[in-house]
Amino acid sequence: MNDSDNQAPVLPPAVLPGTPHIAYRGGELHVEGAALAALADAHATPLFVYSKAAMLQALDAYRRGFAGRHATICYAMKANSSLAVLQLFAAAGCGFDIVSGGELERVLAAGGDPAKVIFSGVGKTRAEMRRALDAGIGCFNVESEAELEVLSAVASEAGRTARVSIRVNPDVDPQTHPYISTGLKGNKFGVSHERALATYQRAASLPGLQVVGIDCHIGSQITQEAPYLDAMERVLDLVSEIEAAGIPIDHIDFGGGLGIDYNGDTPPAADALWSRLLARLDARGHGGKHLMIEPGRSLVGNAGVCVTEVLYLKPGEQKNFCIVDAAMNDLPRPAMYQAFHAIVPLQEAKQPAAEAYDVVGPVCESGDWIGRARRLDVAAGDRLAVLSAGAYCMSMSSNYNTRGRAAEVLVDGAQAHLIRRREAAADTFAHEVLLPS
Ligand code: LLP
């Protein structure tokens, strides 16, 4: 995850990263059957466009991996929590991994099944716990001993039973960006391996709780298999210990984290990864358990693009800037993690570009960049597509600089559905209150 793209290709690759559903056809960039230029004409820019087929294809890879198993795929909706995206995964039979009461309300609004919801996160409030219990969610992924005590009290008071799984921290290095590593000892997440058994014993003794599973999540944008295998071994060691202490574990949740192709990255395919993990699970005698996973990015990341218009070219002594109408409030990943997103023209380039540009947005911060030293043949008014923008872009967007959030379109074959209207300035301050005059 870095933007050191000195070796960036001069021409956009014929096959764009990630999915065959986003490709040039007749020289024009399409998402499935829809030309992005036509969508940008109809809905203006910046505009997020998603491919339904790409999302379902990504889901199918997991499904193939789990064929014949008792498994539940809980989409980690923080990656992209737009209602229509949730609706699509709910209709496909997915559960959801949520991290706030707000996400639960989105699942319910999109027609998701609360019984397939698991609630992760280190800082659940009492009100969030109560609402989740009333909605009948499937499981709380408890992240600390203190949280266990509070959940027990909230459930007892409500006369309900909270099904719990404890998130254990397997202390493995996922070899990814430090901000998105979560399974190391120094992270705020989960209960340490050493404290896990005692925490389970405490959970089993508390009123209002029913221990049902164990959970881990080691990080995000993981492109190697080894961290998963290591984490699995560590979790299975604990499962044996906990069960030997007389506490049955019905499900094992291995979290999310599988990476996608941003810049020639080659993460394992979900089905290949899982066939190896399942072989290991079988070898250790746990293959018959209910398995759960929480993939986010790998289901939606490569399924989306952000279309943006070039506002100005600004040649400089040291570098050239290409100023576009999308910014760090729409696409926060480069500013936050120095993340790379490919940027390609909507009309396929016919010849190598002579100039390199830093592609930047209008926000008043030097950190507001989207790509550095990109070779582009562009003029003001041209439109570009920022690729692999289906995950952690719209869901992390903000109104900084009082910029309304972009519109979103979901393409299904030749049909394009507007799934989020562009925010007007008035929408961005609708909840604010003037002082009495
Ligand atoms: N489960 C838990 C408990 C998580 O914390 C996360 C992500 C996931 C599942 C899903 O992980 P995924 O399959 O999407 O890698 N904003 C960052 C990524 C933050 C990930 C946070 N947790 C980015 O843009 O790269």
Residue 394 one-letter amino acid: M
Global confidence as pTM: 0.95
Ligand 1 centroid to Cα of residue 220, in Å, is 5
CATH code of the domain made up of 22-51+301-428:
2.40.37.10
Three-state DSSP at 311 gives strand
Q: How would you class 203 by CB atoms within 10 Å of its CB: exposed for 0-12, middle for 13-18, buried for 19 or more?
A: buried
| 374-387 mean pLDDT | 97
For residue range 37-67, list pLDDT tens digits in order: 999 999 999 999 999 999 999 999 999 999 9
Atom of ligand 1 nearest to the CA of 121: 3
Q: At 120, phi and psi to the nearest 5?
A: -100, 175
Are 272 and 64 in contact by the 8 Å Cβ rule? The answer is no
Is a pLDDT exceeding 70 seen at residue 367? yes
Cis preceding-peptide flag for 46 (omega within 30 of 0)? yes
Active site residue 364: yes
CATH code of the domain made up of 52-299:
3.20.20.10
Q: Ligand 1 within 6 A of 296 CB?
A: yes
User: Nearest-5° angle of CA 335, CA 338, CA 341?
Assistant: 95
Place of tokens 């920022």: 386
**Most informative mutation of 294, 370, 395 for ligand 1 (most atoms within 8 A of CB):** 294
Are 408 and 88 in contact by the 8 Å Cβ rule? The answer is no
Domain-by-domain residue ranges, the chain? 22-51+301-428, 52-299
For residue range 256-313, list pLDDT tens digits in order: 999 999 999 999 999 999 999 999 999 999 999 999 999 999 999 999 999 999 999 9
For residue range 183-235, list pLDDT tens digits in order: 666 677 889 999 999 999 999 999 999 999 999 999 999 999 999 999 999 99
